[in-house]
């Protein structure tokens, strides 16, 4: 057996094993020697040898002990858990898995909105009581959807909104870049967007600028029949302000895949609000996760072999 070119670290991602990842990679790189670390000692040995490693995390000490590591392919879209300075000091490029979540998270958003529009939660409650009783519903067509964050996930959401005949507003750091929405505004104009919003979708990263972005003022600005979907990070929303807004009927409902704190304590008041649906950071789950991640890495392996120094999804 030749020396491995790629090491897959042991961490399990979204319930999928490293062996699943290896299968997806080998189908794309059949001539490549790919090793899966089964134990911590195997992981250390592989990191001393291979030019390419992939997984969720490497500590600064592990990076320093990997003198031959030219590329680390993180299997998460976010890299806030990594010490990027350590990789840079080691001369190791880092890529992320941005884009792999687009289809599944966009489906979560569309499903949450349509469930609210057509009153499915009310239907489910009545079904539990064997109760046949008509209830009012809304139409999605003609409404205004504001998507905060126009990265790969935000763009996937906007693409899937197109057939519904809605108006879209995008909010992003760099509005001059434009985007797929009907309007693109900067964060300094978000209050203007909120005042015209029927459905608010949060798809932005958690940064100093976005922490607590949706606060008491935002909930006062949104129309009282607005509905919010948060698939960003819990900290983008001021949780106390959200609870107060829901209890005062200042917005009509919310679908939360992320919360602050997370996990949400079982005695938290959000659990008891009928117009709030909560999922346990589950929107990103998909059986195709490693297939999409493998596609990104396979592209970058070819670039590496050709001597290129710029990679798809490169962050360092």
Q: What is the pLDDT along the chain (316 residues), one digit of tens a residue?
A: 468 999 999 866 666 788 889 999 999 999 999 999 989 999 999 999 999 999 999 999 999 999 999 999 999 888 888 999 999 999 999 999 999 999 999 999 999 999 999 999 999 999 999 999 999 999 999 999 999 999 999 999 999 999 999 999 999 999 999 999 999 999 999 999 999 999 999 999 999 999 999 999 999 999 999 999 999 999 999 999 999 999 999 999 999 999 999 999 999 999 999 999 999 999 998 989 999 999 999 999 999 999 999 999 999 9
The answer to whether 189 is a known catalytic residue is: no
3-state secondary structure 99-126: CCCHHHHHHHHHHHHHHHHCCHHHHHHH
Beta strands in the chain (DSSP E): 6-8, 34-36, 52-55, 71-74, 93-95, 144-148, 167-171, 183-185, 199-202, 227-230, 253-256, 276-278
Give the fold, CATH level 3, of 102-278.
Rossmann fold (3.40.50)
Strand pairing class (167-171; 199-202) = unpaired
Topology agreement, domain 6-100+287-305 and domain 102-278: yes
Reading the block at residue 72, the tokens are 């680390």
Just give the CATH number of 6-100+287-305: 3.40.50.720
Whether the CB-CB separation of 98 and 156 falls below 8 Å is answered with no
What totals of helices (H) and strands (E) does the chain contain, helices first? Answer: 11, 12
Task: Kindly tell me the burial class for residue 146, based on how many C-beta atoms sit within 10 Å of its own C-beta (0-12, 13-18, 19 or more).
Answer: buried
Q: At what angle do helices 18-28 and 289-305 cross, to 10 degrees?
A: 50
Q: Which helix (H) or strand (E) holds 221?
A: helix 216-221
Check if 172 is active-site: no
- Does 129 participate in catalysis according to the annotation? no
Domain parsing of the chain, residue ranges: 6-100+287-305, 102-278
Dihedral pair phi/psi, residue 7, rounded to 5°:
-115, 130
Q: Say how far apart CA 145 and CA 193 lie, in whole Å.
A: 9
Structure pTM?
A: 0.89
Residue tagged active-site, from 45, 57, 107, 262:
262
Given the residues 28, 138, 281, 303, the one annotated as active site = 281
């Amino acid at each position: 057996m030749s020396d491995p070119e790629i090491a897959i670290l042991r961490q399990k991602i979204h319930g999928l094993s490293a062996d699943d990842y290896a299968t997806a990679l080998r189908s794309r790189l059949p001539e490549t020697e790919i090793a899966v670390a089964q134990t911590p000692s195997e992981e250390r040995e592989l990191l001393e040898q291979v030019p390419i490693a992939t997984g969720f995390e490497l500590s600064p000490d592990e990076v320093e002990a990997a003198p031959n590591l030219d590329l680390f392919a993180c299997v998460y879209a976010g890299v806030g858990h990594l010490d990027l300075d350590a990789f840079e000091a080691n001369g190791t490029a880092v890529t992320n898995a941005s884009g792999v979540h687009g289809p599944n998270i966009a489906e979560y958003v569309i499903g949450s909105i349509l469930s609210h529009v057509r009153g499915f939660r009310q239907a489910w409650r009545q079904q539990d009581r064997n109760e046949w009783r008509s209830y009012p519903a809304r139409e999605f067509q003609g409404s205004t959807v504001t998507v905060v964050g126009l990265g790969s996930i935000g763009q996937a959401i906007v693409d899937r909104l197109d057939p519904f005949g809605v108006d879209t507003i995008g909010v992003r750091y760099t509005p001059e870049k434009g985007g797929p929405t009907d309007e693109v505004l900067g964060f300094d104009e978000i209050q203007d967007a909120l005042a015209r919003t029927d459905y608010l979708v949060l798809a932005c990263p958690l940064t100093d600028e976005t922490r607590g972005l949706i606060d008491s003022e935002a909930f006062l600005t949104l129309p009282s029949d607005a509905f919010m979907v948060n698939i960003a990070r819990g900290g983008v929303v001021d949780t106390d302000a959200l609870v107060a807004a829901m209890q005062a009927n200042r917005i009509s409902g919310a679908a939360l895949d992320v919360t602050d704190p997370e996990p949400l304590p079982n005695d938290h008041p959000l659990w008891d609000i009928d117009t709030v649906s909560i999922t346990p950071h589950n929107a990103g789950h998909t059986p195709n996760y490693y297939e999409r991640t493998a596609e990104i890495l396979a592209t970058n392996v070819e670039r590496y072999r050709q001597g290129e120094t710029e990679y798809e999804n490169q962050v360092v």
